[in-house]
Structure 1
Amino acid sequence: MVYERAELTDPNMIALWDMAISGKRVAFDSTAQDRNIPGDLMAQILRGEGMDGSPRKVIVKGALIAGKLDLEAANLLCPLELTECDFESAPDISQAEAPNITLTRCTFPGLRAWELKTSHDFSLEGSSSSDLIDLSGAEIGGQLDLKDAKFPTSSPTVLKANGLKVHRDMRWSDLRTEGQISMIGAHITGQFICDGARLNNPGRIALLAQGIVVGAHAYFRSGFIAQGQVDLSGSTIEGRLDCRGGQFLRPGIDSGALRADRIHIGEDMICGDGFTANGGVNLTRASIQGSLRCTAGKFLNSGGKALRLEGIKIRQNLECKAGFKAEGQVLLAGSTIDGNLRCQGGHFIHPTGDALEATGMKVGQDAVLGKDNSGEQAPVEGFVAEGGVKLTDAIITENLDCTGGSFSKSQRTAINAQGITARDVLLREDFHADGMVDFSGAQINGEFVCTGGQFSGSRISFLGGGMTVRREAKFDAGFRADGKVHIRRASFHTGLSFDGAFLAATGGSKSLVLRGTVIKGRLNLATGEKPLGRMDLRRASVTELYDERAVWPNQIMLQGFCYEALREGGPGVEERLEWLRRNEKYVPQIYRQLAKVYQATGDEDLARRVLIVEQDVRRKSRPGFHGALARVGGWFLKATVGYGYNPFRVLAELAVLEVVGGTVFSLLRHDIKPISPHSDAEFQPWLYSLDLLLPVINFRWSIWFYPTGSAVWWAAAFTAMGWALATALVIGIGGAIKRR
């Protein structure tokens, strides 16, 4: 029906009509019995039907809107402002157009407002609805205000705002809801403010906001609590996403209590200072143009994914510093951080697997997994990982600094940094790893420093096979490895030092393995104490070897070990020979290598001494009957020509034999007979002795005269010794020529 002003008799209706024209407020006592205003009359006035003039504003306080306020597809000629009004049935303003609508502290059994269009604000501040509020497709020209509103509906969805457009801010401060809020694809030009809001939908989705666009900042802080998942996946927030102090509670779900995969954030995202996500946070393939700040935030999803950052792109820094706690895995695989990764004082807990998984991560500056030394006083506790840290194939442009960090995965891999690329790597001072540290295949463009680091909890404490370090690698004073330090086929471009280190591997195992490693500089093996296990230097190559006899291990594997120089003023030749004897078996190369170094420094006598000892060891190492023959022959060669390293010693021996022979044959001249009885040559014992001793040169005295009696044995002996000395001389000269 259409009301006429002249026909109205109810004072409430008359007051509403007249005040609408004048734009003044109609107020009722909310406790009074007679405060009814027909909903159809209010709708007629707002449309301006049957009125002499257009309404300026409908302002009502404390009324009971009887019947239905039906404004579907209506064009409201004036603003509507209702305060503390009650509705008998759900108002319908869907597809309506209005300047602005304000329903403050009102109660209604639902609200239909889909595709509503307002020129200015739409407010439900402090209002309460017991059923669905539908704002799907609505377009609010100003601000949308749900501050202090309460929607305790029993329906699955409490607020539907899919495709909503708000041209200014959307305020949800202190909002209270029961059920799901759905605002898929909503667009908010200004800020999205949810400070203090409490969205309750346990075990389900509390806020479904996939693909929303926020033109400024979004706030979920200061007492915000979501009992249920908050889903912002695929959304765009041009400003800052600030969740400081917010609580997101949806435990037992790997997609995250706060799900924001593929989100784009134009500035910082803050999940710290009391932030809690019970069920974790999912930022997979997100894009953050500022920093992701998680310091003092708690990410809880024990046994699952606490913080998912796979493929994320962060233009500035990722901060998980003091007070950060992740119970569950933190995933950074394939992420890109253009600034710093700062985890000083962060606590990562996932003992059943990798607490931090960052395979293929790229960091544009430093990655700090240790203590914060930027201030005057560092925190008591540094970075802590209860579970593995995986940095496989990560690329860190500046430094990986784990100084003061604690990494625990006993009997397994505490740090897996295979194939990592970084400038400097710092595992020093209060660093502790309970489990293996693996830098196999790493490319370190600066220094690798483990001075003061403690490595325990694994049979292999440090694994560095195939790693490359372009500056010096230091495992110096304070470094302790309870297991093996295993560095095979690695390359160190400046040097490798274990000065003052403690290599404590026991049980018959190797303390240090440098097999096949190339060190273009000094290898310092002056450890702090004698290593308890074997040392394997096989096929390693160094420029200079610096060591001390006092800390040589009982067994050193030296086969193929090459070095160009020895420590000046270091162990002497006899000590070096003892060092060589600590090799597990006789190997000619290790003696020749030492001799080569002495020769390079001009110490020919020391080189010969080493080579002669090498032949001694070789002679003694041969077993069996043939070995016995070889030992006898070797003894003769050593006595005559020094195994060929002193071939002209035979001349002195020949001279001695000549003196002996000349004397003997002088005394036995009566037993020396001429071949021809007609010979008148006089016997010369000295020339006769020389002729016997020189089998190659014939002075004919042994032809002209023949021995008899005891002289026969002397002549045979001198002939044999002559041939023996000649043979030794040939072998010695041949060996010398061959070595040259």
Structure 2
Amino acid sequence: MEINDLTPAEQRVWRAFATGTTVDFRTAGEENGPERTVRAVVLRALLLNGPREPGEVAALKVLGARITGVLDLRYAAVDSVVRLGHCRFEKAPRLAGAQLNYLSLRDSVLPGLGAARTRIDGSLRLTRCRIDGPVHLGGAQISGALFLEQAELAVEDPAQPVLQLHQISIDDDLCARGLRAQGLIRLDGATVAGSIDLEDAELINPGAHVLDGESLDVGANLLGRRLRARGRIDLRGARIPGRVDLLRAHLSNPGDTALRASSCVIGEIWLRGGGTIEGRLNLRRAEINQLHLEPEMLPDEVRLLDLTYTFLTPHEPAERRLPMLERDEEFDPHAYEQLTAAYRRIGDDQAARLVQLAKQRRRRSTLPWYGRLWGHLQDAAVGYGFRPLRAAVWLLSLLAVGSVAFALEHPRALKASEAPDFNPVFYTLDLLLPVISFGQESAFAPSGWHQSLAYVLILTGWILATTVVAGVTRTVSRQ
């Protein structure tokens, strides 16, 4: 391409390329006028075979241009820095398979971007870009960071992902603070060596996936403070050694799952300060070191099967934590054991006992009728062994009733000459305590309604003794 074939605007860009000088069209004529229009084929020719000057670093630096045609750099090797800021692209650039040094399109307007499997030795900057079409970066390798701060992304076809980052490899951070995206963001199989920053972002795809991060591998943190997501966030199988920070985030996907972090390995999850999650929360089979969860953010449905965590913060009474377990439609004894262990780590044995009692009551609902009946008896008698003082109250009450009843009317002696003096208190104790004998029960035989009372005392004594033994056994086994 000869310089005489170029328009005045293109000649400015051509001459500036050899020395890496910035060409600013933002004050040159009308936005779509010839003074600001540059053909994409000219930019391609510069990047592939542009003029060089000894001792200078060639670079394409253009601001405020209107770029017509398709910037096609597929499978090309470009060793110059490319900065096309505040530009308006007529067609979506095609960069699939290209090898670039550094690419910045900040503050530009594009109808899309095709850069699958692109290799960028530096960073890719799409800060404050408005892209009205799909952005395809699947399989790309970025040695620096990917910047999407305050970018606005949308697609006409809701079934098409708005941002495809699947299998991408980023050696630094993915910075998307303030991102506005309408459609699906694919991050499945992606590797980010640093952090993913989605603070103040707004992700919209109602009734469908808004963020698919299955098997995502992050080196540090996933930051989502004040994130607003209308759709499903899926982090199944992700590995995030730092924290998933959803402080003051608003997650909404009514009638379906709002947040799925099942089978994940995560250092910390922060769910606090935001509104109640609208939709299901799924943490099944996840391994979390610290689960920082405010009860107010819990939705009506949770899935906690085989969830493992070491610390649960902030410290809350057991009465405020138990609804988290009761909202899971499937009874999972492991969930109750995890909550019990969390309370014991901080020395709150009373809360741990309440959780174990709630576990037995929940388990009772899964038993056949005779098991539920026996469970109710154990619960009423000694609270499944976690409230042993109840047995003492029952015994003292029955002892008082029996002592008064038998004191008013002594039962007859079986052998008057051999019978000891009748004592209503010890006679009642003989009936209540099946393993202790004071010699009263065998010496006297009640009659009439006293006989019925004696049967009730004997039966109740056996029930109390059995439940006390079961409770003591359970307590010993826990220790």
Residue 553 of structure 1 deviates from its aligned partner by 7.5
Residue 219 of structure 1 deviates from its aligned partner by 0.8
Q: Which residue of 1 aligns with 2:25?
A: 28
Amino acid of the residue matched to residue 361 of structure 2?
Answer: I
Aligned equivalent of 1:360, options 323, 334, 338? 334
What SS does structure 2 have at the residue aligned with 1:177? strand
Amino acid of the residue matched to residue 218 of structure 1?
Answer: L
Counterpart CA distance in 2 for 1:275 and 1:158 is: 27
Residue 231 of structure 1 deviates from its aligned partner by 0.9
Q: Which residue of 2 aligns with 1:348?
A: 323
Deviation per residue, 1:399-431 (Å, 9 max, x gap):
65249979999xxx993367xxxxxxxxxxxxx
Q: Which residue of 1 aligns with 2:2?
A: 4
Change (3 A) 1:355 1:311: closer
Would you say the 8 A contact 1:365–1:398 is kept in 2? no
Aligned residues: 422
| 1:285 maps onto 2:285 in alignment | yes
Deviation per residue, 1:92-118 (Å, 9 max, x gap):
111111111111110111100001111
Q: Which has the higher helix share?
A: 2
Describe how 1:94-133 pairs up with structure 2 within 5 A.
94-133=96-135
Q: Which residue of 1 aligns with 2:274?
A: 274
Q: Which residue of 1 aligns with 2:438?
A: 594
- Please give the TM-score of this superposition, normalised by the length of structure 1: 0.51
Would you say the 8 A contact 2:52–2:58 is kept in 1? no
Deviation per residue, 1:540-576 (Å, 9 max, x gap):
xxxxxxx6x47857599xxxxxxxxxxxxxxx95433
Counterpart CA distance in 1 for 2:251 and 2:215 is: 19
Unmatched segments (≥5 aa) in structure 2: 365-371, 408-420, 452-479
Change (3 A) 1:363 1:11: same
Q: Which residue of 2 aligns with 1:149?
A: 151
What SS does structure 1 have at the residue aligned with 2:439? helix
Describe how 1:471-486 pairs up with structure 2 within 5 A.
473-475=388-390
Q: Which has the higher strand share?
A: 1
Change (3 A) 1:82 1:129: same
Unmatched segments (≥5 aa) in structure 1: 323-341, 369-394, 419-437, 442-457, 476-495, 499-511, 513-524, 536-546, 557-571, 597-609, 623-740
Describe how 1:77-96 pairs up with structure 2 within 5 A.
77-96=79-98
What SS does structure 2 have at the residue aligned with 1:227? strand
Q: Which residue of 2 aligns with 1:392?
A: none
Q: Which residue of 1 aligns with 2:475?
A: none
- Radius of gyration: which is bigger? 1
Aligned equivalent of 2:307, options 306, 309, 312? 312
Counterpart CA distance in 2 for 1:347 and 1:123 is: 46
| 1:241 maps onto 2:244 in alignment | yes
Counterpart CA distance in 2 for 1:403 and 1:313 is: 17
Deviation per residue, 1:262-312 (Å, 9 max, x gap):
1111x2111122264211221111112x21111255122x4xx3x222112
Relative contact order (C-alpha < 8 Å, sep 6+): which is higher? 2
Counterpart CA distance in 1 for 2:86 and 2:312 is: 47
What SS does structure 1 have at the residue aligned with 2:204? strand
* Identity over aligned pairs, percent: 22
Aligned equivalent of 1:575, options 393, 415, 424? 424
Q: Which residue of 2 aligns with 1:159?
A: 163
Counterpart CA distance in 2 for 1:134 and 1:73 is: 15
Q: Which residue of 1 aligns with 2:212?
A: 208
Q: Which residue of 2 aligns with 1:196?
A: 200
- Please give the TM-score of this superposition, normalised by the length of structure 2: 0.76
Would you say the 8 A contact 1:105–1:128 is kept in 2? yes
Change (3 A) 1:127 1:396: closer
| 1:258 maps onto 2:259 in alignment | yes
Amino acid of the residue matched to residue 319 of structure 1?
Answer: T
Change (3 A) 1:154 1:497: same
What SS does structure 1 have at the residue aligned with 2:188? coil
Amino acid of the residue matched to residue 131 of structure 2?
Answer: S
Counterpart CA distance in 2 for 1:350 and 1:133 is: 41
What SS does structure 1 have at the residue aligned with 2:97? coil
Q: Which residue of 2 aligns with 1:479?
A: none
Residue 249 of structure 1 deviates from its aligned partner by 1.1
Report runs of 4+ in structure 1 exceeding 6 Å deviation: 353-356, 395-399, 403-409, 438-441
Residue 73 of structure 1 deviates from its aligned partner by 1.0
Q: 152-161 or 58-67: which moved more?
A: 152-161
Change (3 A) 1:109 1:555: farther
What SS does structure 2 have at the residue aligned with 1:13? helix
| 1:16 maps onto 2:16 in alignment | no
Aligned equivalent of 1:462, options 347, 356, 380? 380
Counterpart CA distance in 2 for 1:408 and 1:468 is: 9
Q: Which residue of 1 aligns with 2:350?
A: 401
Residue 497 of structure 1 deviates from its aligned partner by 2.9
Counterpart CA distance in 2 for 1:403 and 1:238 is: 28
Would you say the 8 A contact 1:153–1:177 is kept in 2? no
Counterpart CA distance in 2 for 1:9 and 1:577 is: 117
What SS does structure 1 have at the residue aligned with 2:248? coil
Change (3 A) 1:286 1:580: closer
Q: Which residue of 1 aligns with 2:45?
A: 44
Deviation per residue, 1:288-341 (Å, 9 max, x gap):
2x21111255122x4xx3x22211222x2123755xxxxxxxxxxxxxxxxxxx
Q: Which residue of 2 aligns with 1:169?
A: 173
Describe how 1:50-61 pairs up with structure 2 within 5 A.
56-61=58-63
